[in-house]
Structure 1
Amino acid sequence: MEGEPTAELIRAQLRRLRLKAELSQEEFGKLVHFSGSQVSAVELGQRPLDRFFLKRADEVLGTGGLLMSLLKLAERDGQPNWFRPWLEAERDAQQLWCYHPTLIPGLLQTENYARTVIRADDMLSDDAVEKRVAVRLDRQAVLNRAQPPKLVAVIEETALRRADEGFRGLMAQQVAHLIECVGCPHVSVHVIPADVSTHVGLAGPFSLARGSDGGWIAYLENQLGGTTIDKDQDVATLIARWESVRSEALPQRQSTLLMKEVMTSWT
């Protein structure tokens, strides 16, 4: 991300705002709890952009959150090319349908759950993990906008119950978050009970987004990344499979009761 134009813009804005405030690098460093040499390294691109640093810089310089907003854009710019079309579709969607056979969909993940899932890839550095967590949480902002999309998520009961002793507290937090989410009129979560042994969705996760023009776009995840689908025939196939998956799931009220029962069973 550090070579992206948006990241360069952040560094330029940081320096401009610091000079406008008539602060030396040493003076500014004391205010944001960094050394003057660290401030210099950030401005020169010799040190990665740090979320804590930029958050403190926004507070000290009174930017109204400008630097953190630019950081979110830089993190989006740093996403692989295959993911960017789906990010655009997700942000512009009026309806979102998500199904995952083994995990909670990303738009409904808590920060701790997201970090644990992402960290399961042992090829990622700690810094890469945190950047991916930040992007995933940033995506969830679509659900909090003035006119949010209608999100319908279908999950498996087995995904809810994946909780050994070390994972149980995290999962309790995650399931509680799901129950809180369904309290919003634009979010529905439906659970496929464990006694449904097989259905078409088990072939893999997928999501669908309907834009303001009424057209649908789909997204398929895989081990190497994902693919955005926009061919009418392929999208129609996935819509049909969604309807099949959705028909296997419990209604909202029963799904919520099942989620509560799962939490009760842990205590």
Structure 2
Amino acid sequence: MIRAQLRRLRIAAGMSQEDFGRLVHYSGSMVSALELGQRPLDRLFLARADEVLTTGGLLVYLLKLAERDGQPSWFRPWLDAERSARQLRCFQPTLIPGLLQTENYARAVIRCDDLLSDDEVERRVHARLDRQSLLVQPEPAQFVAVVDELVLRRAGEEVRGLMVEQITHLVASLEQPHVSLHIVPADTGLHVGLSGPFNLARGADGGWVGHMEHQIDGLVVDGDHEVATLLARWEMIRNGALSRRQSIELMKEVVTSWT
């Protein structure tokens, strides 16, 4: 559909593939290959095409829809709950939450799976970054995340610069009043959150939905008992975490120790 729309808009504008290619800094043969499906769609190309054809961002928006529909079937119900949520809760004992990841951090995490091609890695990176628009829309959800301190300190020499960038981004993100992040200190020892990560979303109707992931796929839960259990565990984990101010101070301390 994207390729058909691109061709229709170009022809309606009275441009040949060569003329259009010059304006978007692509060769006419490259434009032809993109329209015919002989080359994968490129986000930068579509952004330039939107500008040249004055579409109001139509082509990039269609690509976002295609990427969302390309998500695994088990993940789509959570994406729907996440998009319509008024409150979001996230506990992550091993990684920075996806909604707060930098592009470089997201790419490094996704690339850990050697089975993924470079194109698939980039597709997943862009899909993850697109989800972050939830936090900058006109009426964003209240987002509260809790992470383990070891998530911040998991950095060998080869990724230390990447982690400095990521933690600096976290501190900057907390300047937004609707975003909070709290750290469970490393000396806490055993706690209920070590059983695994989970997310919670509260919709406009006041109802909560939970989401849990593991190595193969994930599970969305909305049963009263399951949601109540996750909410209770959230409270236990959150109560054992540092305050917002203390968490920011700890993040700055980690960055300073590396730089």
- Tell me the TM-score normalized by structure 1: 0.95
Say yes or no: does 1:213 pair with 2:221: no
How far off its partner does 1:31 sit? Answer: 2.0
| 1:28-177 pair list within 5 angstroms | 28-177=20-169
The one-character-per-residue Cα deviations of 1:201-222 (angstroms, maximum 9, x if unpaired) are: 1111100000000000011011
The 4+ residue runs of structure 1 with deviation greater than 4 A are none
Distance (whole Å) between structure 1 residues aligned to residue 122 and residue 168 of structure 2: 23
Q: CA RMSD in A?
A: 1.0
Distance (whole Å) between structure 2 residues aligned to residue 197 and residue 248 of structure 1: 11
How far off its partner does 1:55 sit? Answer: 1.3
Equivalent residue number for residue 201 of structure 1? 193
Tell me the SS of whatever aligns to 1:209.
Answer: strand
Tell me the SS of whatever aligns to 2:78.
Answer: helix
Distance (whole Å) between structure 2 residues aligned to residue 40 and residue 229 of structure 1: 46
The one-character-per-residue Cα deviations of 1:59-116 (angstroms, maximum 9, x if unpaired) are: 2212221111111111001111101000010010000000111100000001110010
Equivalent residue number for residue 251 of structure 1? 243
Task: Name the % identity.
Answer: 66
How far off its partner does 1:254 sit? Answer: 0.7
Tell me the SS of whatever aligns to 2:106.
Answer: helix
Distance (whole Å) between structure 2 residues aligned to residue 215 and residue 250 of structure 1: 27
Structure 2 residue runs of 5 or longer lacking an equivalent are none
Distance (whole Å) between structure 1 residues aligned to residue 134 and residue 92 of structure 2: 19
How far off its partner does 1:166 sit? Answer: 1.4
**Deviates further, 27-36 or 153-162:** 27-36
Q: Partner letter of residue 93 of structure 1?
A: A
The one-character-per-residue Cα deviations of 1:93-142 (angstroms, maximum 9, x if unpaired) are: 00000011110000000111001001111110010001101110110001
How far off its partner does 1:52 sit? Answer: 1.7
Tell me the SS of whatever aligns to 1:167.
Answer: helix
Distance (whole Å) between structure 1 residues aligned to residue 158 and residue 111 of structure 2: 15
How far off its partner does 1:36 sit? Answer: 2.0
Tell me the SS of whatever aligns to 2:41.
Answer: coil
Q: Partner letter of residue 254 of structure 1?
A: Q
Q: Partner letter of residue 87 of structure 2?
A: Q
How far off its partner does 1:163 sit? Answer: 1.4
How far off its partner does 1:199 sit? Answer: 0.6
How far off its partner does 1:197 sit? Answer: 1.2
Distance (whole Å) between structure 1 residues aligned to residue 24 and residue 15 of structure 2: 12
The one-character-per-residue Cα deviations of 1:25-70 (angstroms, maximum 9, x if unpaired) are: 1221222222222222222223221112111211221222111111
| 1:229-248 pair list within 5 angstroms | 229-248=221-240
